[in-house]
Chain A
Amino acid sequence: MLSVNRQQISQLLQFALIVSSAFMIWKTLSVITNSESPIVVVLSGSMEPAFQRGDILFLNNRQTFVDAGDIVVYQIKHREIPIVHRVMNQHSNLQKLKQFLLTKGDNNPVNDLSLYNRNQLYLNREKDILGVVKGYLPKVGYLTIFITENAYFKYTLLGLMAISSILQRDE
């Protein structure tokens, strides 16, 4: 009886180790890139054909200024979903190190002014930009879209993981 408990505890610890190390890797990447979410999954088709739904993007937020032509991920104040679009116009104040940006999706006919807040003509480099897209991995993020958009799939997957971690024995 005692040995069974010991094994279950060790399995629980192993599971906790996996979860906490994944969390630590994520937070370390966050510190290195200076971005609150250094890896994002593309959710819309507004940058097609460059990025499709489910593609993974790697971001960096260390640079002071963003260049026109760069692709950025931005989040407007009080909005939930971050947007991946290309910078069309940039104006940088070289003394105050402030920058104002206008963006557009490659697949959209017009610029993003209609997506910004009322009376907002530019994005603020410091406040609105989550990161600049540096790297690309196709399709791999589709799993997360599938999980977030299918509640049943999510719970089945979580249940299976929990059951297998309890039942699995190290021999």
Chain B
Amino acid sequence: MFSTIKRLQDSFSAASTFALVLCCLIFTSSYVQLLHDRCFDLPSTISDISLDTSLKFSRIHGSLNKKPKENARLTSFSLQTDLSPLFNLNTKQVFVYLTAEYHSVNRKDNSISNKLIFWDKIIISKDDATLNLTNLKSKYSVYDIEKSFNHKNATVRLEWNIQPWVGPLIYGSTTGLETITFI
């Protein structure tokens, strides 16, 4: 009635059930803690943004067949925020990123919603989660799907993504807003 294989099977299934319950408990408690610390509207300040655009001709800058493509980069900006509440027992890393969001209309009169990432940073420990950075430059040279940005206005925001040790990925954004114009 009790063979070795049966015993192995039973202990394996008990262990996996236990592990699953433990994972659910870890996720729920860490999520409750995020809500309790009001992590979904953490304050941030984005300031001193200066932007520069230039024409690029290589594929890595979004140009095809050497046609000119307008690229934008931030030549300087400052960032103040405290992301340490995002670190709890289920946080493996926090990915923070600076986005620019804008709307446009294409040739066929369809409205297009766009979002680009200028800068990002991977934070692994709570000690590095207080950001007080000045005179930063954008990491990426960004470009529109059309050949130029056409002097549009964009909203700049600092957003984050928690990579957990186990469970669902969590996304949110800080409250600081800033407007830029692609000159």
Contact = CB atoms under 8 A, between A and B. Distances in A.
Interface residues of B, number: 38
A115 to B, nearest CB: 12
Interface stretch (B45-53, B93-101, B127-135): B93-101
A95 B111 contact: yes
A135 B169 CA distance: 6
B117 A91 contact: no
B60 A110 contact: yes
Nearest to B6: A168
B116 A69 contact: no
Contact of B62 (A51, A69, A121, A133): A121
Contacts of A70: 171
Contacts of A94: 110-113
Interface in B159-173: 159, 161, 163-169, 171
A145 interface: no
Nearest to A171: B1
Nearest to A109: B139
Contacts of B164: 136
B136 interface: no
B140 interface: yes
A124 interface: no
A67 interface: yes
Given A106-B95, A110-B60, A91 B145 contact: yes
B24 to A, nearest CB: 12
A136 B122 CA distance: 18
Interface in A126-161: 133-138
Contacts of B23: 137
A95 B168 CA distance: 31
A96 B171 CA distance: 27
Interface in B10-39: 23
Contacts of B140: 88, 111
A70 B95 CA distance: 11
A94 B113 CA distance: 7
19 contacts: A50-B92, A51-B163, A65-B113, A68-B116, A69-B159, A69-B161, A86-B95, A88-B116, A88-B140, A89-B114, A94-B112, A121-B62, A122-B145, A135-B167, A135-B168, A136-B166, A136-B167, A136-B168, A137-B23
